[in-house]
Amino acid sequence: MTENMIARPVILETVAGARSALSGRNDVVLVPTMGALHAGHVALVERALELGQSVVVSIFVNPLQFGPTEDLDVYPRHLDEDIDKLHALGVPFVFAPSVEEMYPSGTVQTKISAGSVGGMYEGRSRPGLFDGALTVVAKLLNIMHPSTVVFGQKDAQQVFLVRRMIGDLNIPVAVEVVDTVRDENGLALSSRNSFLDGRELHAARALSQALEAASSSADGGIDAVLAAAQGALMGEPLVQLDYLKVVNPDTFLPSDDGARGPAVVLIAARVGNTRLIDNERIVLAG
């Protein structure tokens, strides 16, 4: 079927409109995004389309996830282009509300707390990030009542916290996680990559190179993993490391020095003025 034969997505701009359009459907699959869609988002959507016919892609730049000094005002917004991409994929519904529609009272009084893990790693560098993320995800789940919600592995800490919220609050939805999509040089795809110039784009590849080095050294234990990753970052002055951590995937707490078995290596760095994150699942031995 050609793109011209595929129906345009139904654009849902209000909570009431979304609930009406999706009422009675038991195969709703939600893909929450902040727009500026790239190949990583496409992978999420393609997986969603395999899981159910009533796929909803939400496009909402959530102000609760941005601190006062962060890039909310300049975060890329390309709604028309995003809708064209989703049309080509055959997505039936797009939920694209305004900030006023999602937060009609202005200041949000009721938020989901991400707890102690929400204040670590990304949450330490970006206070309030995960309280804001969980709050908007909870709202989207309450509006859409999907059977499944789809996220990307690149946002590993967010995925962990969403899963914990869903379990703690007994929300009847399955979580599907899609592997990180990377460019030909290994850089994890991100909407923020558009902020990088040529030199910064080249330098940013050091993050995935550090993760590759960490994975290759997993047989030597945590010290070897961290040393290998740090070594891969040396000599790249445009990359300013924020954190490099090895965590237990079941608790997202730092892995003990003698830990064995599955782990996740988390990395965050500023490349020029752009902050990037990435992660890699490994198996510790040694």
| Residues identified as active-site | 41
Residue tagged 């752009």 (tokens): 274
Computed over its alpha carbons, how large is the radius of gyration of the chain? 19
Q: How many residues does the chain have?
A: 286
C-alpha closest to that of 46 among 11, 90, 107, 92: 90
- As a whole number of Å, the end-to-end CA separation of the chain is 53
- The helix-helix angle for 222-233 and 198-216 (nearest 10°) equals 160
Question: Could you give the CA distance from residue 70 to residue 241 in angstroms, rounded to a whole number?
Answer: 18
Question: Could you give the CA distance from residue 144 to residue 30 in angstroms, rounded to a whole number?
Answer: 8
Question: Could you give the CA distance from residue 145 to residue 131 in angstroms, rounded to a whole number?
Answer: 21
User: Cα-flanking dihedrals φ and ψ of residue 46, to 5°?
Assistant: -60, -40
Q: How far is CA 178 from the centre of its chain?
A: 10
C-alpha closest to that of 15 among 126, 124, 123, 139: 139
The torsion defined by the Cα of 9, 13, 19 and 24, in degrees rounded to 10, comes to -10
User: Residue ranges of the alpha helices (H) in 68-107?
Assistant: 79-89, 99-102
Under 8 Å CB-to-CB from 48, ≥6 apart: which residues?
Answer: 29, 30, 31, 55, 57, 148, 150, 176
